[in-house]
Amino acid sequence: MSRVEDKLKQMGLSLPPAPTPGGNYIPAVRTGNLVFLSGVTPRRPDGTPFAGKLGKDLTVDEGYEAARICCLNLLANLKQEIGDLDKVTHIVKLLGMVNADPDFTQPPAVVNGCSDLLVELYGDRGRHARSAVGLATLPGGVAVEIEMIAEVSG
């Protein structure tokens, strides 16, 4: 087991099965030492989508948790692509999209759920550039969708 997965286990977390694409695309594309990960959405532990609008149906704390689940899904897809999460040399960029009520002004606080977990797991290698935006809707009404670019070795 990788050090990153060990750390997840110590945190009481584990990687879910890698999510399957919901359309005509693939979960990851590697070019050179960069891996571009398609956007992922969160599912609750019982398998139901983590749906709702932030600022209307869901609190910032609930959105933060949804973003952490997205992070685990991203890491599962990354592991599927590179085999070992310890090969990550740097998390380069996140794009966090939040299903937000028009008056909701805290998408960055929601996407911190993913960012914070990456820094907990990778330290400075987990610090990344990021955009966090509120959108009128997301597929299936999910709360959050996040995509990632990671630099890897080997």
User: Count of domains in the chain?
Assistant: 1
User: 46 falls in which pLDDT band (50, 70, 90)?
Assistant: confident
CATH code of residue 40: 3.30.1330.40
Nearest Cα neighbor of 39 from 99, 84, 90 is 99
Which pLDDT score is estimated for 101? 97
pLDDT in tens, 51-106: 999 999 999 999 999 999 999 999 999 999 999 999 999 999 999 999 999 999 99
Compute and round to an integer the Cα radius of gyration of the chain: 15
CA dist., res. 101 & res. 91, Å (int): 29
Average pLDDT, the chain: 96
Domain residues for the domain of 98 are: 3-19+26-152
CA dist., res. 91 & res. 21, Å (int): 22
